[in-house]
Amino acid sequence: MIGGGLDEQLEKFALEHSDTKLIIVDTLQKVREAVSDSYSYSSDYEVIGKLKQFADRYGVCVLIVHRTRKQPAGDSFEMISGTTGLLGCADGALLMQKEKRTDSKATLEVVGRDQPDQRLYLSKDQERLVWGLRPCRE
């Protein structure tokens, strides 16, 4: 957990593998401290802040996998489970959505501080199980 040994483990890994450019945390829930079932803006901001400080210090990208809520929202990024503290502290976010869980077509919305907001259209190669860009919305 962050604050319970993972911080030190990540630091040790980064020092031993200085060529690392990407670390994926799958999922956020597995590494955040379980303070209660309801998280506050400050606790959400704090956990992302610790991972961001690590990323900035070692010059790596930390990609954090997190789940969305089931309820619809006016802004798709409001579907991110938790408070706005998660997105408020992160440099950016990618939100992949499909109409149905089993669909082979999806949209990937991108927002962030140092990149233009964009929507990408994806399709899944069922043989290779790899997502790729579609040229346009079909």
**Per-residue model confidence as pLDDT tens for the chain (138 residues):** 998 899 999 999 999 999 999 999 999 989 987 665 567 888 889 999 999 999 999 999 999 999 887 777 777 777 788 888 888 899 999 999 998 989 999 999 999 988 899 999 999 999 999 999 998 755
Is residue 60 domain-shared with residue 79, that is, in the same domain?
yes
Is residue 72 domain-shared with residue 30, that is, in the same domain?
yes
Is residue 82 domain-shared with residue 99, that is, in the same domain?
no
What's the number of CA atoms in the CB half-sphere (13 Å) around residue 46? 10
Is residue 109 domain-shared with residue 78, that is, in the same domain?
no
Q: Is 5 helix (H, G, I), strand (E, B) or coil?
A: coil
Please give the residue range of the domain that contains residue 96. Answer: 91-138
Is residue 63 domain-shared with residue 101, that is, in the same domain?
no
Nearest to 77 by CA among 117, 109, 46: 109
How far is Cα 103 from Cα 124, in angstroms, rounded to an integer?
9
pTM for the model stands at 0.84
Is residue 108 domain-shared with residue 118, that is, in the same domain?
yes
Indicate the number of domains in the chain. 2
Q: What are phi and psi of 53, to 5 degrees?
A: -60, -45
pLDDT at position 74, please? 76
